[in-house]
Amino acid sequence: MSVSRTVLLGTVLAAGGAAAQDASGDAATGRALAAAHGCTACHVIPGLRGLGSHVGPSLAGIGGGRYIAGVLPNTPENLVRWLRDPPAVAPGTAMPALGLDEATARHIAAFLATLR
Ligand code: HEC
C-alpha cells in the first residue's frame, strides 16, 4: 500500500516535471527554420516576412494559446507532436505533415512559444 502510493506519487511528480520543461529547442534557430520550411506560405507569423497568406490561422499569440488546432492542449511536447504530423493529431486537417525531424520541430516549437 505505502509502496504503491510512493510509486504513484513519483509518477505524478515526474509527469509534472516533464510538463514544466520547455521543448528544449532554440527559439532563434527555430525562427530561421520556420522561414526555411515555408510556414509563411500558409501562416502569418509575426517577425517573419511572408505572403500574407491565410490558408492557416495567424500564429500571432500561439505561445499563449490554450489549444493547438482546437484539439490538443498547447504544451511544448504537443506542439512538437503537431508540427511533426498534424494529420495524426487532427485527421482531415488542411495542414500537411512537412517531414520535420524531431530536432527541427523542437526548435520551431521553441520559437512559436515566444509568440505571445
Ligand atoms: C499548406 C499550408 C500549411 C503549411 C505549409 C503550414 N501550415 Fe500550419 N496550419 C495550416 C492549417 C490549414 C492549419 C489549421 C489546422 C486545423 O485547425 O486543423 C494550421 C495550423 C497550425 C498550427 C495551430 C494553430 C492554432 O491556432 O491552433 C500551428 C502551430 C502551425 N500550423 C504551425 C505551422 C508551422 C510552424 C509550419 C511550418 C513548419 C506550418 N504550420 C506550415 C496550414 C499550413
Per-residue pLDDT of 70-99, as tens digits, reads 999 999 999 999 999 999 999 999 999 999
pLDDT at residue 31, as a whole number: 96
**Is 94 touching ligand 1 by the criterion CB < 6 Å?**
yes
**How far are the Cα atoms of 6, 27, 106 from residue 20, in angstroms, in the given order?**
21, 17, 15
pTM above 0.75, yes or no: yes
Ligand 1: which of 39, 40, 43 to mutate, most ligand atoms within 8 Å of CB?
43
**DSSP strand E in the chain: where?**
67-68, 72-73
Dihedral sign, CA of 49, 90, 82, 96? negative
In order of their start, the domains of the chain are 2-113 (1.10.760.10)
Q: How confident is the model at residue 3 (pLDDT cuts 50, 70, 90)?
A: low
- Is the pLDDT assigned to residue 113 strictly greater than 90? yes
